[in-house]
Structure 1
Amino acid sequence: MPPAKRIRTRGRFHASFSLSRPSSPVTGETTTPAPASNVSQTSTFPLALQRTTNRKSTRRLRHEDYTIGWICALDIELAAARKMLDEEHQPLPQAASDPNSYTLGRVGERNTVIMVLGLTGTNSAASAVAQMKSTFTSVQFGVLVGIGGGVPSAKADIRLGDVVVCQPSKDCGGVIQYDLGKTRPDGVERTGFLNAPPKALLSALKSLNANHLKGRVGFLHHLAKLSSQSLFARDKAGPDVLYDPAYNHEEEEENCNNCKKEYSVRRQTRGEHVLVHYGTIASGNQVMRDAKERDKVS
């Protein structure tokens, strides 16, 4: 898998919070933000979905009508993002100096521009975001949404298919680049993290969390839009099996069908429901393929 992305801030553009559908926490692989082990709060919702479809549109808006930027790292994340749109808009012209590919549409009352990163790494990501801001000058906030590798712990029971929302703490802005820092005899000392999201998003995050705690949740309705495509079906991801961090998986294998079951970790059955976690998200350029190192940096 390609390395994780870290979006650097420019002006008021922020990688403010991320929803991730963790890949199997067996290997600790990371693409887009991976939830760290200090996730603080969780909310549970039954996975009872009804099929819905997004409405197509022939509307053509102006560049300045778009206020939200949605960043994806992978093409499969872009496909899922497009299914989340309530309405899709016609494309707009862009300068020859802007090589990005955009999908335009509406989510609720917000006109949103979706972009998938063409190259990996923080420098290329920062350049792509700057070009988006140059083309869509009214974009106020940016969200990085995608797949992440879970970091299971006694405090955070993260399972395959859960949702993770970045939430700042007193020690960091909510997203930490785990491979940025100083090398010490006892390991790497991390020296930086992203700025906290703007107050408007922090306020919205608190309202979202409060609604979840009261059992008022609307995202299952949006997830239902994916049920019409077999690519995003829960069964497509395979069984959620957690292995001991000391067990080394076969690099050539695409799944864990041939892994040694005696190294699997017994966990309490949780049932078919989605858990929403709020806390710190780790991200970086380095692909995380070692479970022991994953637990160490988290």
Structure 2
Amino acid sequence: MEATPDREDYQIAIICALGIESKAIIGIFDKIHETSVNLWCKTNGDHNAYTTGRIGKHNVVLTYMPGLGKANTSTVASTIRTTFRNIILALVVGICGGAPCTLGKDPKDIHLGDVVISTEIKQTDLGRNYSDSFIAKTSNEVAKPAFLSGDKDSHWYPSSAPAFRLPGAGREKRDFI
């Protein structure tokens, strides 16, 4: 029987804003860890809701945002590390509801099943609009995380994209992880 991991055993976090997104993630869990065992492990001040489990050989913590927006995302992302201190990779996973689309006119459109990976951070709140004026923020620079600051030819960019396919009949999803 597989022992339930301690909170130090989780290194991957997945953050979802919508219920439909989190249900899809739970669907790829190979094992969901016992919830009642994990209730004790939250630190004081951590109000995130979690589902913990395993995908392949990786212990993963899934957390849900209480609402949309930058403030909720920031709070969830920073709070998760108070309880799960060994998180080294956090993924914000979603359905890309805000992705631009040209309705098939551009062959580079995003299609169902595409994976979108961000390589930079863009600041969108450059100031505040008031009824009679716009007040710009004094600093518009967002510090880029070190792992995104590397050369474009780094290991993050494979020389040729692998062909990913959904598991077929008789093949398990773990064959692809």
Q: Secondary structure at the match of 1:106?
A: strand
Question: Displacement of 1:192 after TM fit?
Answer: 4.6
1:206 to 135, 154, 157: 157
Aligned residues with identical type, % of pairs: 23
Cα distance in 1 for residues equivalent to 2:47 and 2:68: 15
Please name the residue that 2:19 is paired with.
75
C-alpha contact 1:176 1:194 (8 A) present in aligned 2: no
Q: Secondary structure at the match of 1:97?
A: coil
1:117 to 65, 81, 97: 65
C-alpha spacing 1:192/1:128, structure 2 compared with 1 (3 Å) = same
C-alpha spacing 1:194/1:221, structure 2 compared with 1 (3 Å) = farther
Normalising by the residue count of structure 1, what TM-score does the alignment of the two structures yield? 0.43
Question: Displacement of 1:163 after TM fit?
Answer: 1.6
C-alpha spacing 1:84/1:197, structure 2 compared with 1 (3 Å) = farther
CA RMSD of aligned residues (A): 3.7
Cα distance in 2 for residues equivalent to 1:156 and 1:176: 24
Q: Secondary structure at the match of 1:131?
A: helix
Please name the residue that 1:29 is paired with.
none
Cα distance in 2 for residues equivalent to 1:88 and 1:194: 36
Cα distance in 1 for residues equivalent to 2:79 and 2:123: 23
C-alpha contact 2:43 2:82 (8 A) present in aligned 1: no
Normalising by the residue count of structure 2, what TM-score does the alignment of the two structures yield? 0.68
* Higher RCO (CA < 8 A, seq sep 6+): 1
C-alpha contact 2:12 2:88 (8 A) present in aligned 1: yes
Cα distance in 2 for residues equivalent to 1:136 and 1:79: 21
Cα distance in 1 for residues equivalent to 2:33 and 2:155: 25
**Structure 1 ranges of 4+ moved more than 3 A:** 153-157, 191-194, 202-205
2:122 to 173, 176, 180: 176
In the alignment, is residue 157 of structure 1 matched against residue 108 of structure 2?
yes
Cα distance in 2 for residues equivalent to 1:131 and 1:145: 17
**Mind listing any 5+ residue stretches in structure 1 that lack a counterpart?**
1-56, 226-298
Please name the residue that 1:127 is paired with.
75
Aligned pairs (5 A) from 1:252-267: none
Q: 1:174-197 CA deviation, whole Å, 9 max, x = no partner?
A: x4243x2258xxxx9xx4557257
Count of aligned pairs = 154
Question: Displacement of 1:67 after TM fit?
Answer: 0.3
Residue identity in the other structure for 2:74: A
C-alpha spacing 1:118/1:193, structure 2 compared with 1 (3 Å) = same
Cα distance in 2 for residues equivalent to 1:204 and 1:59: 35
Q: 1:76-126 CA deviation, whole Å, 9 max, x = no partner?
A: 111111012122222312235221111111222221111010133322322
Cα distance in 2 for residues equivalent to 1:192 and 1:61: 39
C-alpha contact 1:59 1:89 (8 A) present in aligned 2: no
C-alpha spacing 1:166/1:192, structure 2 compared with 1 (3 Å) = farther
Does 126-135 or 157-166 show the bigger shift? 157-166
Q: 1:210-238 CA deviation, whole Å, 9 max, x = no partner?
A: 342xx3x25x239x99xxxxxxxxxxxxx
Q: 1:236-293 CA deviation, whole Å, 9 max, x = no partner?
A: xxxxxxxxxxxxxxxxxxxxxxxxxxxxxxxxxxxxxxxxxxxxxxxxxxxxxxxxxx
In the alignment, is residue 221 of structure 1 matched against residue 162 of structure 2?
no
